[in-house]
Amino acid sequence: MIKKLPLILILFCSSIILGQEKLGEIQHSLKKSSKKVRGSLSIVNHKNNDIATFISDKNSIYCYLTNSEFKIKHQLKLKRNKRFSGIVGKMFTKNKYTFIVSNKHVKSFDQIEFDFKTDTAYYKNDRFYSKGMTLLQTVNMGNKSHLLFFKQKTSELVVKTYFNNGSSTLKTFNLKSKKLLLNDTKETSLSKLLFNILYNDYTITKLHSLELENYNIKKNKLQAIPIESATDFNKLYASDNTIKIILDKNKFYTQILSLNLKNETLSLKKIKKPFFSTASKNKTTNSFLFNDLLFTTGCTKNQLKVNVHNLIDNSLVKNFSLDLKKPFPFENYQMIIKGNKYTKPKYRKKLLKNLLYGDIGILVDKQPNGYLITIGGKKPATLDNPMIGVNMTNITSLYSVNNFRGFLDPHSYILNVYRNVKSTYLSFHIDNNLKPTGNKINGNVYHKINQYLKGNYVENNESHFFRLNNRTVYGYYDENNNNYSFLAF
């Protein structure tokens, strides 16, 4: 049932709170004696710059609609259907916000709509069942939401797309004619490449997150992500009508599956990695996709390499080699080993050793005059100490958005990585012509938020952050004061 909420107070201020600008707060109507809040998030509507903040407890979902100055416009409340315990997708129009929700096994799906034009909220009872399929990842693009499934028996990829006008499509991509490789010569199945032994499940990590820039992504615009997220072997990148899946379990080739949703076509590319002639046991490799450039990296006991390929013609346009016997080709670089910073050349051997026997990844972050390259990764997780991830069915709880796949909110997932993992990595700058520079290396917004939270003893519970008017806004629920605060970074 829908009920009007008791009047809440939105406090707008521009003062500095605990060293950080506080933009506003919502005095939540949930009584302190009620059960614990189970999830919260905010959505910025780029059509009108409104902000919709959703807070869920055991029985209800509360929604507060504010303008960009956090002044209240509307309030709604919806009684939860406990059959559906997690949000996997979202989209919106000027006045309506829609969530795609799932049961705890991520097999049954429905939609929730919050309509501020009619002041109603309801479950649509438009059920979809993914029998025989595993939800790999979702892509939320404002006016639509893509759900990517894997059908194990037939080795097919299925994309269910929901549109904000109420329609939906289901498209299937068959891989029977595509030859995937496990190493330099041995053929394998998509099932084996997607399977993650740590989680005992099929997984893909989403790296291009369209949520961060309010869905208005310009070319060469990337979110700042940590190297820990780029260490996964299976990664997803998305644009309006294309989903690209990068498969890096193979140490000899990066394999790229491109799904064209408009034409319903599938293509496969294989790009050779550094140290191609070196045996698998003596190297570790990974890659990162930036627009039409594929950055691949490889590490051995004594050497680290980076190759840059242009995927339009598959040509090798640049390569770097970091040899222990030679000076590093970078004037300025940052070397972190297990969370500690080192500057002396003698520690380069220790760096390569940790990269070789740990998780390695590479990421590319666009800078004003070039690119920031980071190579490294987190300490390998084990089944008894999985760092930040456990089985999906155990953590998709009551509209929580901080699951390990980052379906709805990859930014909270990334921030959790920053706060919980001590990593080893090397960072350096190159210019727009892919040549090394001496530019200073600065921390990104995740570092800033993490430092603030540590310094002010703020728990990262039920948090979310987004871009608003070219600023990063961090919103979090404060149980002690029963409010939802917004801080600018």
Average pLDDT across the chain, whole number: 79
Q: Are strands 483-488 and 20-27 parallel, antiparallel or unpaired?
A: antiparallel
Residues 278-287, mean pLDDT to the nearest whole number: 95
Q: Please, are residues 150 and 172 in contact by the beta-carbon 8 Å criterion?
A: no
Q: Which residues touch 207 (CB under 8 Å, ≥6 apart)?
A: 225, 229, 230, 235, 236, 237, 288, 289, 363
Residues composing the chain = 489
Q: Where are the beta strands (DSSP E) in 360-438?
A: 361-367, 370-378, 423-431
Q: Please, are residues 272 and 184 in contact by the beta-carbon 8 Å criterion?
A: no
Residue-wise pLDDT for 150-173, tens only, equals 998 898 999 999 999 999 999 999
Least confident of 65-74, 389-398, 406-415: 389-398
- Which span out of 218-232, 348-362, 451-465 was modeled with the highest average pLDDT? 348-362
Residue-wise pLDDT for 359-404, tens only, equals 799 988 888 888 889 998 765 433 333 333 322 232 233 233 334 3
Q: Is the pLDDT of residue 80 over 90?
A: no
Q: Is the pLDDT of residue 487 over 80?
A: yes
Tokens of 360: 């390695």
Q: How is 302-357 classified by DSSP, letter by letter?
A: SEEEEEEEETTTTEEEEEEEEETTS--S-SSEEEEETTEEE-SGGGHHHHHHHHHS
Q: Is the pLDDT of residue 438 over 70?
A: yes
* More confident call, 420 vs 316: 316
Q: Which residues touch 140 (CB under 8 Å, ≥6 apart)?
A: 89, 90, 91, 210, 211, 408
User: pTM above the 0.75 mark?
Assistant: yes
pLDDT classification of 461: cutoffs 50, 70, 90:
low
Residues 232-254, mean pLDDT to the nearest whole number: 92
Q: Is the pLDDT of residue 311 over 70?
A: yes
Q: Are strands 156-163 and 144-151 parallel, antiparallel or unpaired?
A: antiparallel
CA–CA dist 373, 426 (Å, integer): 8
What are the counts of helices (DSSP H) followed by strands (DSSP E) for the chain?
6, 37
Q: Is the pLDDT of residue 17 over 50?
A: no
- DSSP three-state, residue 396: coil
Q: Is the pLDDT of residue 326 over 60?
A: yes
Residue-wise pLDDT for 189-240, tens only, equals 999 999 888 777 888 888 754 443 444 444 434 455 667 778 889 999 887 7
- DSSP three-state, residue 457: coil
Element containing residue 407 per DSSP (H, E):
none
CA–CA dist 39, 16 (Å, integer): 27
The 3-state secondary structure of 217-228, one letter per residue: CCCCCCCCCCHH
Tokens of 145: 């939401």
* More confident call, 30 vs 107: 107
Unique residue bearing structure tokens 């919260």: 40
Percent of the chain scoring above 90 in pLDDT: 37
